[in-house]
């Protein structure tokens, strides 16, 4: 069965420090991968998505970047964190398909809660 892992689960970082959040998926090949962010009391914002190794699409301009060095690994990074980067970061995966049962259904990880002080 497929599983998705995100780490760390919680972190507190000072302003200006770097960030690296990691996400890995097991049990599937060539998944679509996503990073979402949820600020406190707000909705889910799509940050990045990737349809393959090295292929990253950014949805909104921001202080963050994403990389996909391996098929089932997705990394969210920042060189210098801002206070506004605080939030709940969620990684998700799906398998592209046309109408197949379960196609295009996103499965989310447990999330990484980032507090920037």
By beta-carbon proximity to other proteins, the closer residue of 14 and 98 is: 98
Cα distance between residue 64 and residue 45, in whole Å = 13
Counting contacts by CB under 8 A, is residue 35 touching other proteins? no
Cis peptide before 8 (omega within 30 of 0): yes
Among 28, 32, 65, 67, binds other proteins (CB under 8 A): 32
Counting contacts by CB under 8 A, is residue 111 touching other proteins? yes
Counting contacts by CB under 8 A, is residue 9 touching other proteins? no
Counting contacts by CB under 8 A, is residue 1 touching other proteins? no
Phi, psi angle pair for 85, to nearest 5°: -80, -10
Quick note: the x/- pattern for other proteins over 68-97, rule CB under 8 A, is: --------------------x-x-x-x-xx
For 17, residues 6+ apart whose C-beta sits below 8 A from its C-beta are: 80, 81
């Amino acid at each position: 069965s497929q599983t998705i892992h995100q780490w760390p689960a919680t972190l507190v970082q000072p302003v200006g420090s770097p960030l690296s959040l990691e996400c890995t998926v097991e049990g599937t090949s060539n998944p679509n991968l996503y990073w979402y962010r949820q600020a406190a009391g707000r909705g889910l914002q799509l940050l990045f998505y990737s349809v393959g190794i090295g292929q990253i699409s950014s949805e909104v301009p921001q202080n963050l970047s994403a990389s996909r060095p391996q098929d089932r690994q997705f990394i969210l990074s920042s060189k210098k964190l801002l206070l506004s980067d605080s939030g709940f970061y969620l990684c998700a995966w799906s398998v592209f398909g046309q109408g197949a049962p379960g196609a295009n259904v996103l499965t989310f990880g447990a999330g990484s809660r980032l507090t920037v002080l």
